[in-house]
């Protein structure tokens, strides 16, 4: 019986050692997970900033797209005004 007890004690000690080892490994994994969460939150902030920057760029591009149209309209107005003035001056003279 005493030999059986010694084997059981050895088994218990090995299991305790394994459990301690697992505990340490779990702590390492938990630290890594916390680090990943910090990295993920930082990446989310960067992505949000990028999203805002892209929206601003799209707005700027749309504004630039329609600015030439404004100039074109001004040129057309000057031409129409000139033609109307010319016609009005011919009629009145």
Cα-atom radius of gyration of the chain, to the nearest Å?
40
From first to last of the 93 residues of the chain, give the pLDDT tens digit. 577 777 777 888 888 888 888 888 889 899 988 888 888 888 889 899 999 999 999 998 888 877 776 778 888 889 999 999 998 888 876
Whether the predicted model's global pTM rises above the 0.85 cut: no
User: Within 13 Å of residue 12, how many CA atoms lie on the same side as its CB?
Assistant: 6
């Amino acid at each position: 019986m005493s030999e059986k007890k010694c084997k059981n004690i050895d088994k218990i000690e090995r299991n305790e050692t394994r459990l301690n080892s697992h505990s340490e490994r779990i702590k390492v994994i938990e630290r890594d997970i916390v680090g990943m969460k910090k990295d993920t939150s930082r990446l989310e902030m960067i992505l949000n900033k990028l999203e805002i920057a892209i929206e601003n760029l799209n707005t700027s591009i749309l504004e630039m797209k329609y600015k030439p149209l404004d100039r074109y309209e001004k040129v057309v107005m000057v031409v129409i005004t000139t033609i109307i003035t010319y016609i009005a001056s011919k009629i009145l003279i």
